[in-house]
């Protein structure tokens, strides 16, 4: 999920691990631990000079269970060595710090696994990307109540039981909301599959996920032999979806058997289409993510410009179509069931 959410979650588990011993400093170190996995964005730029390799590296090994274990010992030992001096001598143990970093690092990819982007939890043993598709990568209803509870508990001394009460309250509320997204996902899948069946659409693969910033409006994509069928459904709709937008695949516009482009296919879980542009590149739309404007088949917000760079292919983020006010208006109208 977004950086703020991971900082909040990391701070919360930091409080669980060391709050009673070091107070608000546990929130700080937990937040640092919760941020560590996303540093793969910067390391990817250091390790690779190809944009597709950088893209694949993110949410890779640094978001895996083995890294959480290794990182817990590495950062735990280092922090304990730096912290256990002077007046702080013997106030914490090495085990405390290892536990703090394991919780803060591991819960980061665990939460990411509920998003459509997913994470490779089992690297280097498997590149399978775990993605439950229940919550958007940014969802204020998960983050804000949790954040408020942590801000409030900071004003209580570490020995005050109200500190624990606020921590549990934030954790329970966010956990309940996450559980609610799972229930929504189960219901939404039944709605979309029923709509596909009623429309007599024969499909090979199917995926559904919430749209950005909410868990009310959902998006589904189904792959047929010829194209992709996409549709939306809001929990506030008065009727089930009956119409689908057809998106042509156009996979023949690029030599997708190329190793670089095969990585891009894998990244998108094979839900993508290609478009010609007026420029010297092909537009690659990752269709795992919803269209911003439910009425505009060209409003994909997660797109790349793909072009040849020497012997390698590059895929760079594409910002040639800034979302318009009309796009946002139609998006929020669909959220409200209109």
Helix, strand, coil percent values for the chain (each to nearest 5): 50, 15, 35
pLDDT digit string, tens, across residues 203-249: 999 999 999 999 999 999 999 999 999 999 999 999 999 999 999 99
Phi and psi angles of residue 5, each rounded to the nearest 5 degrees, phi first: -60, -40
> What average pLDDT score do residues 23-43 get?
97
pLDDT digit string, tens, across residues 283-337: 999 999 988 887 777 778 789 999 999 999 999 887 656 667 888 888 899 999 9
What is the pTM assigned to this prediction? 0.94
> What average pLDDT score do residues 117-125 get?
95
Q: Is the pLDDT of residue 185 over 80?
A: yes
> What average pLDDT score do residues 76-90 get?
96
> What average pLDDT score do residues 175-179 get?
98
Q: Is the pLDDT of residue 159 over 90?
A: yes
Query: What count of Cα atoms within 13 Å lies in the side-chain half-sphere of residue 120?
Result: 19
Q: Is the pLDDT of residue 36 over 80?
A: yes
- In the chain, the percentage of residues whose pLDDT exceeds 70 is 99
Alpha helices in the chain (DSSP H): 3-22, 24-35, 40-47, 51-57, 65-83, 94-112, 140-153, 161-198, 259-267, 325-335
pLDDT digit string, tens, across residues 188-199: 999 999 999 999
Q: Tell me what the pLDDT averaged over the chain comes to.
A: 94
Phi and psi angles of residue 313, each rounded to the nearest 5 degrees, phi first: -100, 145
């Amino acid at each position: 999920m977004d950086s703020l959410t991971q900082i909040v979650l990391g701070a919360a588990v930091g409080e669980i691990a060391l709050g009673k011993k070091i107070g608000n400093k546990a929130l700080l170190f937990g937040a640092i631990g919760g941020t560590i996995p996303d540093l793969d964005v910067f390391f990817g730029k250091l390790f690779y000079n190809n944009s597709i390799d950088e893209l694949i590296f993110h949410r890779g090994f640094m978001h895996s269970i083995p890294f959480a274990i290794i990182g817990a010992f590495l950062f735990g030992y280092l922090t304990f060595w730096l912290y256990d001096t002077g007046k702080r001598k013997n106030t914490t143990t090495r085990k405390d710090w290892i536990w703090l970093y394991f919780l803060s690092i591991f819960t980061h990819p665990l939460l990411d696994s509920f998003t459509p982007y997913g994470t490779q939890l089992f690297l280097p043993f498997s590149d399978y990307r775990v993605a439950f598709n229940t919550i958007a990568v940014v969802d204020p209803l998960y983050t804000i109540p949790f954040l408020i509870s942590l801000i409030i508990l900071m004003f209580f001394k570490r020995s005050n039981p109200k500190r624990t009460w606020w921590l549990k309250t934030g954790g329970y509320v966010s956990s309940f909301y996450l559980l609610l997204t799972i229930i929504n996902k189960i219901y939404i899948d039944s709605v979309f599959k029923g709509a596909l069946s009623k429309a007599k659409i024969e499909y090979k693969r199917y995926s559904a996920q919430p749209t950005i910033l909410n868990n009310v409006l959902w998006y589904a994509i189904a792959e047929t032999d010829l194209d992709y069928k996409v549709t939306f459904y809001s929990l506030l709709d008065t009727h089930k979806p009956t119409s689908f937008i057809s998106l042509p695949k156009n996979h023949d516009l690029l030599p997708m058997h190329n190793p670089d482009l095969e990585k891009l296919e894998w990244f998108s879980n094979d839900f993508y289409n290609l478009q010609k542009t007026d420029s010297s590149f092909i537009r690659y739309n990752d269709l795992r993510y919803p269209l911003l404007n439910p009425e505009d088949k060209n409003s994909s917000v997660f797109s790349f410009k793909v072009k040849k760079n020497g012997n390698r292919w590059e895929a760079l983020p594409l910002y040639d179509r800034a979302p318009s006010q009309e796009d946002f208006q139609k998006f929020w109208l669909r959220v409200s069931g209109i």
